[in-house]
């Protein structure tokens, strides 16, 4: 069965970097986009960007350009989301989600369990 | 960016009620509209994709309609497990954008 298992919670100081992983299993890793979506406490959903595991191309929301990098490791079927220079406003639950194929219009039908990132001084 | 506006922001309903949530896009998105359910502390769950297609495993009491800029999610007979927050989301273009959410509460 399709599974996306994310890394554990992180606590970071302002200005630090955080790297969250999302390990995929149960399907052909390179055949489906992975998206990252975050949710601040009590707030709605915010799309951060996507990575095409086949080749590694990325598409980031402008808000995160220059501060977020999405990468993949095909040998372990794992996708990573690294955010630099975190601020208190980056405190949120971060989700990875699998698209229904290779196409940005295809919806995200499988989601990871979420990784809580807390930015605190 | 395409703005997605949901209404209402919240509603109170009873088990067995018919519930309708609307979503409006700031520009035409054809039928690239998806609906998600999110329970507290859980990841979003895809209910409806392409405006009206039911995701595998989702009960048939959920249905979606619309195209262009106006869309609707309907729950035909509300069940106890349906009390949650619902989000619409457009996938016509990046950045993907979500509505602000509609919380369905028990009356």
Tens digit of pLDDT for each residue in A35-68?
A: 999 999 999 999 999 999 999 999 999 999 999 9
Q: Are A97 and A4 in contact (CB under 8 A)?
A: yes
Does A113 touch chain B if contact means CB atoms closer than 8 Å? yes
Query: What does the pLDDT read at residue A16?
Result: 98
Q: Which residue among B34, B43, B101 sits closest to A112, beta carbon to beta carbon?
A: B43
The alpha carbon of A21 is separated from its chain's Cα centroid by a whole number of angstroms, namely: 7
State the residue for tokens 């195209």: B67
Q: What is the pLDDT of residues B73-92, one digit of tens each?
A: 999 999 999 999 999 999 99
Shortest distance, CA B26 to any CA of chain A (angstroms) = 17
Say if the Cβ atoms of B99 and A44 lie within 8 Å. yes
Query: What does the pLDDT read at residue A101?
Result: 87
Q: What is the pLDDT of residues B39-62, one digit of tens each?
A: 999 999 999 999 999 999 999 999
| SS3 assignment, position B81 | helix
Say if the Cβ atoms of B98 and A44 lie within 8 Å. yes
Q: Are B64 and A107 in contact (CB under 8 A)?
A: no
Q: Which of A108, A100, A101, A61 is nearest to A81 (CA)?
A: A61
What's the whole-number mean pLDDT along residues B13-34?
Answer: 97
Q: Looking at residue B50, what DSSP letter applies?
A: T
Shortest distance, CA A15 to any CA of chain B (angstroms) = 25
- pLDDT bucket at B107, cuts 50 / 70 / 90: confident
Chain A interface, best mutation among B30, B38, B44, B95, by max A CB count within 10 A: B95
Closest residue, chain B, to A6 (C-alpha): B43
Say if the Cβ atoms of A95 and B43 lie within 8 Å. yes
- pLDDT bucket at B106, cuts 50 / 70 / 90: confident
- pLDDT bucket at B95, cuts 50 / 70 / 90: very high
Does A96 touch chain B if contact means CB atoms closer than 8 Å? no
Closest residue, chain B, to A59 (C-alpha): B94
Residue B12 CA to residue B19 CA, distance in Å, equals 9
């Amino acid at each position: 069965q399709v599974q996306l298992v994310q890394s554990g919670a992180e606590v970071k100081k302002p200005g630090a970097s955080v790297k969250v992983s999302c390990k995929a299993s149960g399907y052909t890793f390179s055949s489906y986009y992975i998206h990252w979506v975050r949710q601040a406490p009590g707030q709605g959903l915010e799309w951060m960007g996507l990575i095409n595991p086949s080749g590694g191309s990325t598409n980031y929301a402008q808000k995160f350009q220059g501060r977020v990098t999405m990468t993949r490791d095909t040998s372990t079927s794992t996708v990573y989301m690294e955010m630099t220079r975190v601020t208190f406003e980056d405190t949120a639950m971060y989700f990875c989600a699998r698209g229904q194929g290779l196409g940005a219009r295809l919806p995200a039908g499988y989601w990871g369990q979420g990784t809580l990132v807390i930015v605190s001084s | 960016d395409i703005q997605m506006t949901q209404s209402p922001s919240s509603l109170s309903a009873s088990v067995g009620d018919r519930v309708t949530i609307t979503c409006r896009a700031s520009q035409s998105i054809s039928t690239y509209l998806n609906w998600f359910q999110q329970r507290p502390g859980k990841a979003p769950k895809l209910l409806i994709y392409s405006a009206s297609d039911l995701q595998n495993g989702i009960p048939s009491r959920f249905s979606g309609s619309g195209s262009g800029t106006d869309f609707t999610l309907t729950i035909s007979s509300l069940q106890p497990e349906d009390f949650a927050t619902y989000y619409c989301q457009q996938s016509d273009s990046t950045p993907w954008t979500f509505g602000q959410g509609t919380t369905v509460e028990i009356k």
